[in-house]
Structure 1
Amino acid sequence: MSSMNDLEREIEESRARLDETIDQIQGRLSVPNIVDEMLGNARKVPQLASVYDGALDAVRRNPVPVLLIAAGVGMLFSRMAKETERRRTQVSAARVDAIATDAVRDYDPDGPAARPVHDPLEKTEI
């Protein structure tokens, strides 16, 4: 029966260690700690140390507004990237349409056939 008690004790110790590990991971993933880790090098520069400390205090006091601001900035950049891509697509489509329209407009079935383009690499007999 003592082996059963030993096994239960080991299981409880394992659970306790797992709980401690989870708590440590959650602590590292908190907003202030993530910001602290990202901006950790700023503290090493004397001119930026006070700015860094003030920003970190603001994040610690107001984590939700900071996250909302960060999310808003991320959405803004995402929307700007999509808009830029949409404009590029429209410009490319307009160019293709213009080229196709010019090709159709320049074609005259009653007009003389177009001259072949002279190939400079082609041998010509004199």
Structure 2
Amino acid sequence: MTDLEKEIEASRARLDDTIDRIQGKLSVPNIVDEMLGNARRTPALSGVYDGALEAVRRNPVPVLLIAAGVGLLFNRMARDAERRRTQVSAERVATLNTGTARGYDPDLPTARPPRDPLEKTDI
């Protein structure tokens, strides 16, 4: 092996080590631990943190159910917001295509002006 190849292998090893350390710091448990550690070091939040942690330890199932409910709520809110954005985009396209502020609905009958009873028809 040449010196260049050895240097490349050493660089790869250092890079792998750096990537492993970054992935370790960015893992969910480490991020949560970091956030909780910051909350605990804050004097105003220290008592709240300890009380919340004790409540979680005593009642893990209700806390899990509450967390799941909040997660579902946020998921629903995100879907509704996306649906509204899509609907607004579709309305804008309909307005641009037709020149009117309303879209075409194939399920609704077409509006026709009322007939004049005195008008002659060639039927």
Give the TM-score of the pair, scaled to structure 2: 0.52
Q: Is 1:57 the counterpart of 2:54 in the alignment? A: yes
Give per-residue Cα distances to partners, 1:44-73, cap 9 Å, x unaligned.
111111111100000000011111111111
Q: Where in structure 1 are there 5+ consecutive unaligned residues?
A: 1-32, 104-126
Matched letter for residue 41 of structure 1: N
Within the candidate set 45, 59, 66, 2:63 is matched to: 66
Q: Which has the higher helix share?
A: 1
The question of 1:90 aligning with 2:87 is answered yes
Q: In 1, Cα distance between the equivalents of 2:90 and 2:51?
A: 50
One-letter code aligned to 1:63: P
Q: What is the root-mean-square deviation in Å for CA atoms of aligned residues?
A: 2.2
Larger Rg: 1
Aligned 1:82-121 pairs, distance under 5 A? 82-102=79-99
How many residues are matched?
A: 70
Cα distance in 2 for residues equivalent to 1:42 and 1:95: 46
Q: Distance in 2 between matches of 1:41 and 1:87?
A: 37
2:45 paired with 1:48:
yes
The residue type equivalent to 1:77 in the other structure is F
Q: TM-score, normalised by structure 1?
A: 0.51
Residue ranges of structure 2 left out of the alignment (5+ in a row): 1-28, 101-123
Share of identical aligned residues, percent? 69
Can you list the C-alpha shifts for 1:5-47, whole angstroms capped at 9, x where unaligned?
xxxxxxxxxxxxxxxxxxxxxxxxxxxx99x835122111111
Relative contact order (C-alpha < 8 Å, sep 6+): which is higher? 1
Give the SS at the match of 1:39: helix
